[in-house]
Structure 1
Amino acid sequence: MILEPRGTAHHFEVLGRLMSALFDTGAPGILEGAKNFRFWETISGGFSLSWDRGPHVLEVVDELLAVASDDERTQVLRPGDVMFVHDGQADPTSYTTVHIQNVRILLRPHDTIGHEAAVAKAFAALTT
Structure 2
Amino acid sequence: MTLEPRWTPHHYEVLGRLMSALFDTGAPGILEGAKNFRFWETANGGFSLTWERGPHAMEVVGELLELAADAERTRVFRPGDVVSVHNGEADPSSCTTVHIQNVRILIRPIDTIGHEAAVAEAIASLAT
TM-score strictly above 0.5? yes
In the alignment, which residue of structure 2 is the partner of 1:81?
81
Between the aligned partners of 1:122 and 1:64, the Cα distance in structure 2 is 21
Equivalent residue runs for 1:5-84 within 5 Å: 5-84=5-84
Letter in 1 for 2:74: T
Deviations 1:20-78 (A, max 9, x none): 11111111111011011100001111000001100011211110011001111101011
Between the aligned partners of 2:78 and 2:96, the Cα distance in structure 1 is 20
3-state SS of 1:84 partner: strand
Structure 2 unpaired stretches of 5+: none
Query: Residue 114 of structure 1: CA displacement?
Result: 0.6
TM-score (ref. length: structure 1): 0.91
3-state SS of 1:79 partner: coil
Between the aligned partners of 2:26 and 2:66, the Cα distance in structure 1 is 11
3-state SS of 1:29 partner: coil
Structure 1 unpaired stretches of 5+: none
Aligned residues between the structures: 124
Identity among equivalent pairs (%): 76
